[in-house]
Amino acid sequence: MTHENIVYDRRRALLEHAARIGNVSEACRVFGVSRNSYYKRLASASEYGLSALLPKERRSPHQPNAMSPEEVSAILAEAVARPTLGPRSLLRHLAGRGVHRSASGVAKVLRRHQLGTAKQRVAALASLTAADAGQVTDAALEGPFGFCLFATHPGQVVSLDTLYVGRLKGVGAVWQLTAVDVATRTAVVQLVVGDKTAAVAAGFLDHLRKALRRLGITLTGILSDNGPEFTGKDFAMKVTAMGLVHHRIPPRSPNHNAVCERFHGTVLAEFFRPHFHRGRVDDVALLEKSLQAWIVDYNEHRPNHGNYMRGRTPLQVKRELKTRLRQTAA
């Protein structure tokens, strides 16, 4: 189904729902639109027919000097390979790769990718070196790409975080407890209602270990920020009882927990926002069931096109790592 069809179906469903229940305000609330938008759609459909509900075609902005993806990739590669050179000094090396841009244009690309300073570029180089060789340096831990810890084994470092889902009517505040395996990007999540306490996070560790075990991953280490749910007594006791290694990121450094931060952006864009726009959500159990179904697809079928994953799924990466580890052991 195309984007145009989705928009058309949603607009038509809004008009039909309002006519069926006889309450415009309630229909607008369910579909998450304003009354003004409703009456505009109604007027257009009444005057021109249902075809008027199709979204108008938008022209792409004319950008004759826009950089191609190949040019951007070349700029980033040269900047990281020569981290101490500024934009003006990089022009000579870029020309050798067929990229002819101004120093200001190169600088804009670097700033947009958090590589605007020499310190950021040095840290990025250290991060990439660590990812290739497994050597984590102090510079790597300061990387702008949010390089948290390098993991060679599934379950060696599992990144933890929390995500505020929202306040549901009649339910209260809903949080998502998140765990992402650094080596494979396998995700495990659980919804909780109320406060995200250390006791709740400790209970999540039991759920996490069982979930990873079902996926063939043994949990040995975790990574978290310094939130009270991860530093409280109940959580610390559970970590000790389970024999886990607990790494903590520096204060005010969310980029060091980037695998969770990135996953949160994905789950918000691909699950929660579409789910909440389909209609009213007031049953946490049903929301949890839908979320877990999405997680199965994320871990087993959805390609991840990040630099580390390169179009693979977490399941594929896990299998590749285990095969590599067996060959190394042999």
Q: 206: Cβ–Cβ under 8 A, 6 or more apart, which residues?
A: 238
Shared domain for 176 and 321, answered yes or no, is yes
Q: Is 144 in contact with 103 (CB distance < 8 Å)?
A: no
Question: Which of 141, 173, 201 is a domain's end point?
Answer: 141
Question: Which of 113, 141, 169 is a domain's end point?
Answer: 141
pLDDT at residue 144 tops 50:
no
In angstroms, the CA 21 to CA 30 distance is 12
201 C-beta neighbours (distance < 10 Å), count: 25
Stretch 260-287: mean pLDDT: 89
Shared domain for 101 and 135, answered yes or no, is yes
Residue 133 belongs to a domain:
yes
Question: What proportion of the chain, given as a percentage, has pLDDT over 90?
Answer: 40
Shared domain for 130 and 216, answered yes or no, is no
Residues facing residue 54 across a β-bridge: none
The pLDDT confidence band at residue 133, using thresholds 50, 70 and 90, is very low
Q: 162: Cβ–Cβ under 8 A, 6 or more apart, which residues?
A: 175, 176, 177, 178, 196, 227, 229
The pLDDT confidence band at residue 143, using thresholds 50, 70 and 90, is very low
Shared domain for 186 and 257, answered yes or no, is yes
Shared domain for 167 and 210, answered yes or no, is yes
Residue 151 belongs to a domain:
no
Task: State how far Cα 149 lies from the chain centre.
Answer: 17
In angstroms, the CA 111 to CA 101 distance is 15
- The 8-class DSSP code of residue 50 comes to G
Shared domain for 207 and 310, answered yes or no, is yes
In angstroms, the CA 267 to CA 258 distance is 14
Instruction: Kindly report the CATH number assigned to the domain that includes residue 213.
Output: 3.30.420.10
pLDDT confidence of residue 65: 76
Tens-place pLDDT, residues 282-312: 889 999 999 999 999 999 999 988 777 888 9
Number of domains the chain is built from: 3
Half-sphere exposure of 116 (CA within 13 A, CB side): 9
Domain span holding position 311:
158-329
pLDDT at residue 136 tops 50:
no
Shared domain for 233 and 266, answered yes or no, is yes
Residue 253 belongs to a domain:
yes
The pLDDT confidence band at residue 207, using thresholds 50, 70 and 90, is very high
213-250 CB burial, b ≥16 within 10 A, e <16: eebebebbbbbbbeeebbebeebeebbeebebebeebe
The pLDDT confidence band at residue 276, using thresholds 50, 70 and 90, is confident
Shared domain for 83 and 174, answered yes or no, is no
Shared domain for 120 and 242, answered yes or no, is no
Question: Which of 141, 174, 190 is a domain's end point?
Answer: 141
Residue 94 belongs to a domain:
yes
- Whole-model pTM: value is 0.59
Backbone angles phi, psi at 278, to 5 degrees: -75, -20
Stretch 126-132: mean pLDDT: 54
pLDDT at residue 61 tops 80:
no
Stretch 264-277: mean pLDDT: 91
Residue 61 belongs to a domain:
no
DSSP H helices, the chain, are 3-21, 24-31, 35-48, 69-81, 87-95, 103-112, 118-133, 138-141, 198-214, 228-231, 233-242, 258-267, 273-278, 284-300, 314-329
Q: Is 164 in contact with 298 (CB distance < 8 Å)?
A: no
Residue 280 belongs to a domain:
yes
Shared domain for 165 and 300, answered yes or no, is yes
Q: Is 189 in contact with 176 (CB distance < 8 Å)?
A: yes
Residue 180 belongs to a domain:
yes
pLDDT confidence of residue 198: 95
Residue 147 belongs to a domain:
no
One-letter amino acid of 298: Y
Half-sphere exposure of 255 (CA within 13 A, CB side): 13
- The 8-class DSSP code of residue 56 comes to P
Shared domain for 35 and 99, answered yes or no, is no
Shared domain for 212 and 304, answered yes or no, is yes
In angstroms, the CA 113 to CA 289 distance is 36
